[in-house]
Amino acid sequence: MKDQDSNLIDVNHGTQLHKIHGDQKIFEKELENVFGRSWLFLTHESIIPNHGDYIVTKMGTDEVIVSRQENGDIKAFLNVCRHRGAQLCPNEAGNAKGFVCSYHGWGYGNTGELQAVPFDKEVYGGLLDKCKNSLHEVAKVQSFHGFIYGCFDEDAPSLDEYFGDLKWYLEPYFEHSGGLELIGPPARCLIRANWKCPSENFVGDAYHVGWTHASALRTGQSVFTPLASNSTPPTEGLGLQVTTKYGSGLGVLWDAYAGIHDSSLIDDMMQWACTKEQQLAEKIGVVRARIYRSHLNTTIFPNNSFLTGSGVFKTWQPIDKDTTEVYTWAMVEKDMPEELKQRIAISVQRTFGVAGYWESDDNDNMESETYMTKGFQTKNKQLNAQMGIGNDVYNGEYPGVVGESAIGETSYRGYYRAYGAIVNSNSWHEIEDKSSTWADILTNAKTK
């Protein structure tokens, strides 16, 4: 079944038109319907722990201030003065009771309320309604075990509903481990790639690891080194592919907690994980404890990706249709020794930071995918995401729509099914209508 409003996404046959990675009209539609309606990562509670702490980040192409309130809540506002639209806060982070515009001096509390206007009585005659000129507030801000997300659309489902089946896989690491924190500030760089290229890669592409990263695997001697140059074919029982109603998904590589880290970290990380797995088994069961000790490559739709165990945490912020700003943090468990946290943080930047050797491998491919959409004939040709199609199951042993192989494209198909529904809908009511049979659509998909 092709999406009723577009031929971009053919859900039933696992294909997409290449133009999704470089078309201006599609990009503009994404800003309105995808970034305007989806839950987007803002920050972690560990980064703004105290009253007045704030960071400036992006939601789509809009800058927002994310600020800790006196009562402990977190609010987010467009970083734009209500007077003439100047940037309100020029800093990336800090602590402030409020914000004052450098243009005309309008002052706002960190609650978003307009509190001070120069010569209010003299030039406005005391008639300016400050209540109607508060900062534009992001409609919803909620937390998933300390990870703060925001949504512009007040009709969106709760963050808990949005994560859906994915929670079952994430909670062993995000909650039951004792909690996580991000080590920052984030490394930032620009890549000449459409934002969906890295998002789709992290949602479920284990296929490229042995080929794209062959040199890095041999040099770094990680737990994935046996995959180098595809010298070891995938076997049954290596892992899973999982997708969910709203497009978030992941791949599971069993028992590979240390992930991309090289031999200098593997023993210490696996010892840490094995000890905690034994503790968790009594609390959440053997299967979910094993999930904790495994490696999950994940994308929270649309543009937040991470690798558990490896500790890589990213957002892919769109600048334009073929430029993305990449934010990279290290993600660590709160109760880890500080020395181990720092070693992981250094390794994250060495592998997936601005000049990381895994990151460089990936960026070449992401930029190539995007550049090739400039071809007149090429942009209207189909991309293939059919690996494992016809074998996906729902209501099986594991939550979500599941492909029972580590190497597959179940998560790709789920990501783009949701993308097609969201980008072509004008409300959450429409999105829900198009998603009412989402699992049946995916499990009945087949090649042409």
CA distance 159 to 140: 9
List CB contacts of 218: < 8 A, sequence separation 6 or more: 225, 228
CA distance 165 to 244: 6
Query: Measuring CA to CA, which residue among 151, 108, 153 is closest to residue 133?
Result: 108
Catalytic residue check, 295: no
Q: In one letter, which amino acid is 342?
A: Q
Query: Measuring CA to CA, which residue among 183, 309, 189 is closest to residue 239?
Result: 309
**Can you name the residues that pair with 43 across neighbouring β-strands?**
148
3-state SS, residue 109: strand
Q: In one letter, which amino acid is 124?
A: Y
- Of how many residues is the chain composed? 448
Residue from 10, 23, 165, 205 carrying the catalytic annotation: 205
3-state SS, residue 30: helix
In the structure encoding, which two tokens stand for residue 24, read together? 């201006």
Residue from 73, 104, 335, 429 carrying the catalytic annotation: 104
Question: Using CA atoms in the order 395, 400, 405, 407, what is the torsion angle rounded to 10 degrees?
Answer: 160
- Locate all alpha helices (DSSP H) within 115-213, ordered by sequence: 120-124, 159-163, 166-174, 196-204, 209-212
Catalytic residue check, 208: yes
Catalytic residue check, 362: yes
HEC-encoded secondary structure of 10-23? EHHHCEEEHHHHCC
Residue from 136, 153, 208, 268 carrying the catalytic annotation: 208
Residue from 213, 261, 295, 322 carrying the catalytic annotation: 213
Q: Is 447 exposed, middle or buried (0-12, 13-18, 19+ CB in 10 A)?
A: exposed
**Cα 22 → chain centroid:** 20
Please list the active-site residues.
104, 205, 208, 213, 362
